Amino acid sequence: MLRWAHLIAGIMWVGNSMLFNWLDRNLEKQVGQSRLSQGKIFMLHSGAFYDVEKKLLEPGEMPRILHWFKWQNFSTWVTGICLLVLVYYMHDAGGLVDPSIHDVDRTVAVAMSVSAIFVAWLIYDVVWKMLGDSNPKAAAVVSVLMLFAAIFGFSQFFSGKATFMQTGVVIGTIMTGNVWMVIVPSQKELVAATKAGREQDATLSLRAKQRSIHNNYLTFPLLFIMLSNHFGGATSHPLNWLILILVMIGGAGIRHFMNIRYRGNGKELPIVAWFWPAVASGAFAIAALMIVTRIDARSVTDVDTPVPFQRVQEIVATRCVTCHSAKPSDDTFTSPPAGLRLDSPRQIQVNAKAIRLRAVVQQNMPFNNKTHMTPRERGELKRWVDDGARM
């Protein structure tokens, strides 16, 4: 239920944010438009025309009902935090720790995860409060470098999946902090200023604008992280931190060129100025990812003699079938994970390629090596599959 709610809230939040961004960039300035108007836009949707104007209001013009957009963000964050606790902190923090990476004490791991979330927000907020007005470029460089350093740090302590999720929660919390601590207060000030018939405090609105641009750039990377549980090859790779950083650069890069595409007043940049740079930044990230994922840092013991099927069955029975069977004996998994069953000879053979991928190449199976598989056994599985996976 939480995952579902998280997804729905996330779609509403990011969807809103993207629509408003697009809208802002497509506003048309009218000839002789009033001093308070910032432009108009016509849209067609669900059976009629929308005539939207972005503007400031005179004191007496405050509408009775004013729609704010903050609860979508709030519910995404709250459901995300609940998921973090449920999936990664509970069950003795089994999802957070991978003994083959770092055998951190479970309580310490949870404490590290929680404090990293708060500390990240505090540092980011202080950096932008101190440098945001005077030297935003320096603030941006510092924030990005610290984010990348944090990702590397997480990868040294947490399991692969938790490294990605921890990064996601840090980013999501920063974005939520931006909404509630900077953007909403600035909007409240705008409403107060309008009611009082005075100018809005310009520094507040400048800061809100900055933070809202940060959130905009972070959406694509964050969405990738939300789905990263499906990319075992990325999360469990020995260089998973580098993969994540490359995806973030590619994602934010594409967002950047989408952002600069519309210039307002119905004008669009020429295709060479946004489309090809966007393709190039995506291609850069993909090429770099292909190079990184080819680096095979995990070794297996070489096995010189052919491995009989009987031996393979033995290995699978002791190391895999505790989870991958019709009725798993594992204490966490009560049904075969990913629907994969390896409890008959034929099932082992049919899944030989997948077994090789997960137990030999990526070595993210057995799950957290819960059943203590040895490098020698991985070597035996490899030899059997490479010899043609014969029964």
| Chain residues that interact with ligand HEC, rule: CB under 6 A | 232, 319-320, 322-324, 330, 333, 337-338, 340, 354-355, 358-359, 365-367, 370-371, 373
Q: How far is the CB of 297 from ligand HEC (least distance, A)?
A: 19
CB of 261 or CB of 370, closer to ligand HEC: 370
Residue with Cβ nearer ligand HEC (40 or 311): 311
Q: Which of 210, 213, 191 is nearest to 200 (CA)?
A: 191
Nearer to ligand HEC, 38 or 332 (CB): 332
Residues in the chain: 391
Range 178-181, long-range pairs (CB < 8 A, 24+ positions): 178/211, 178/212, 178/214, 178/215, 179/70, 179/73, 179/74, 179/215, 180/70, 180/73, 180/74, 181/125
Shortest Å, Cβ 313 to ligand HEC: 12
CB of 165 to ligand HEC, least distance (A): 13
Chain centroid offset of residue 181 CA: 22
End-to-end alpha-carbon separation of the chain, Å? 43
Question: CB-wise, 255 or 378, nearer to ligand HEC?
Answer: 378
Based on CB atoms, which residue is closest to ligand HEC, 94 or 250?
94
> How many of the other CB atoms lie within 10 Å of CB of 365?
25
Residue 333 CB, nearest distance to ligand HEC (Å)?
5
> How far apart are CB 321 and ligand HEC at their closest, in Å?
8
Residue closer to ligand HEC by CB (options 221, 366) is 366
Q: Are 312 and 378 in contact (CB under 8 A)?
A: no
CB of 290 to ligand HEC, least distance (A): 22
In angstroms, rounded to a whole number, what is the distance separating the alpha carbons of residues 67 and 164?
Answer: 34
- Dig out the tokens for 183 from the structure: 């953007």
Can you give the C-alpha Rg of the chain in angstroms?
26
